[in-house]
Amino acid sequence: MAQEGWSKAIADALRRNGIRIYATVPDFIVSQVLEYLWADDECKVVTVTREEEGLGLLSGAYLAGQRGALLMQNSGLGNCVNTIASLNVASQIPVVMVISHRGDLGEYNAAQVPMGQAAERVLEALEIRTAMPHTVEAFEAEADGLIKLAYTRRMPVAFLLPNDLTGGRYSS
């Protein structure tokens, strides 16, 4: 069961913190956030072909004075690792990552599991401060502070979204 209003809460937190450019390789879960961003004329959403391309794009936007967020599945985090390290961390270029957490509790697709189980430790290895809110209240308690920290510290931050927040994708 998804928490009521989770996707709008995330879209609103991103927007109220001045994030206007978004890159994504969509999945079923983050698309529920994207619905609000696609519908907002003040937000630009670019669908990229691979998640690390989104990091390049959003890094360029930051250099030009804009705040950006990357919305993806944790499989995309795997595709991003070297760019996070050698571009965002090395050059202190902040970005907000919103990552749906497949491959954890309730997962039906075995191919999702190894990356899903590794996701937290990959983020930790890159020294990326991560929030894993299980409720809308928990998300709201950390959201503004984590986004602010990204730009103060000039480092990426991540919201790793568990199934009990988003409802996940249960199917087979």
Partner 1 sequence: MKRDACTRLLAEKLTDEIVVTNLGQATLDLQQIADRPLNFYTFGSMGQCSAIAMGIAVSRPDARVISLDGDGSMLMNLGQLCTVANEAPPNLAIVVWDNEVHQTTGGQATATSMRSSLAGVARGAGMEKVLEPQNEEEVSAAFDRILNEAGPFFVVVKVDAGPAAGSMQRDLLRYKIRFMQALEALPADRPTALAIR
Residue ranges in contact with partner 1 by CB under 8 A: 21, 44, 46-50, 52-66, 68, 82-83, 85-87, 90-93
- Rounded-to-integer distance, Cα 119 and Cα 110, Å: 15
Cβ distance to partner 1 smaller for residue 54 or 168: 54
> Minimum distance from CB of 25 to partner 1 (Å)?
10
> Minimum distance from CB of 84 to partner 1 (Å)?
9
CA distances from 69 to 37, 84, 127, 153 (A): 11, 13, 18, 16
> Minimum distance from CB of 100 to partner 1 (Å)?
21
CA distances from 64 to 10, 57, 59, 71, 145 (A): 24, 11, 9, 20, 23
Q: Is residue 45 within 8 Å of residue 69, measured between CB atoms?
A: no
> Minimum distance from CB of 21 to partner 1 (Å)?
7
